[in-house]
Amino acid sequence: MAEARAPQKSLPKINPVDRPFWEGAAKNKFLLQKCKSCGKVQFFPRVACVDCFGELDWIEAKGTGKIHTFTLVRVPRNPAFKDEVPIYYINVILDEGVIIESRLLGENKEKVKLGDRVKVRYEQTHNPEIKLPCFELAD
């Protein structure tokens, strides 16, 4: 019988479609998909343009944006996160015009309000090859 293990924080199950995104994040780059046909920029990673079904390239985003909305998670779905509550779970509008779901970190996160400027901050996970793009309030 397997030993009981403490729950592990959730990690992405990286696949061929989103691998470039995660490889970018590991090098502190925030990559978005851009349509070769219509130029639309999109997130999350997909196999085709969500608008015209065109083929896709990757572009590097600036990693800046503003808070669209947020919630303070008191009861995480995965209990491995319970020591970190409240988790500031956010929607960010990147300056490239795309909404990203992420997490706000930093000492001053309690001050967050809608419209606040944020910048990306890459967090190392327990897998040495995976970093998570999170955000913090910009000064």
Q: Does 38 bind Zn ion (CB under 5 A)?
A: yes
Sequence length of the chain is 139
Q: Does 103 bind other proteins (CB under 8 A)?
A: yes
If contact means CB under 5 to 8 A according to the sort of partner, which of other proteins, Zn ion, none does residue 126 touch? Answer: none
Q: Does 67 bind Zn ion (CB under 5 A)?
A: no
Q: Does 12 bind other proteins (CB under 8 A)?
A: yes
Beta partners for residue 121, in sequence order: 134
- In the list 14, 20, 29, 54, the residue contacting Zn ion (rule: CB under 5 A) is 54
Q: Does 100 bind other proteins (CB under 8 A)?
A: yes
Cα distances from 73 to residues 17, 70, 84, 116, 118, in angstroms, run 29, 9, 9, 19, 19
If contact means CB under 5 to 8 A according to the sort of partner, which of other proteins, Zn ion, none does residue 38 touch? Answer: Zn ion
Q: Does 55 bind other proteins (CB under 8 A)?
A: no
Residues 27 and 38: beta-carbon distance below 8 Å: no
Q: Does 47 bind other proteins (CB under 8 A)?
A: no
CA-atom Rg of the chain in angstroms: 16
- Interface positions with Zn ion (CB under 5 A): 35, 37-38, 40, 49, 51-52, 54
- Interface positions with other proteins (CB under 8 A): 9-15, 18, 40-44, 50-51, 68-78, 81, 84, 86-87, 89, 91, 93, 97-103, 114, 125, 132, 134
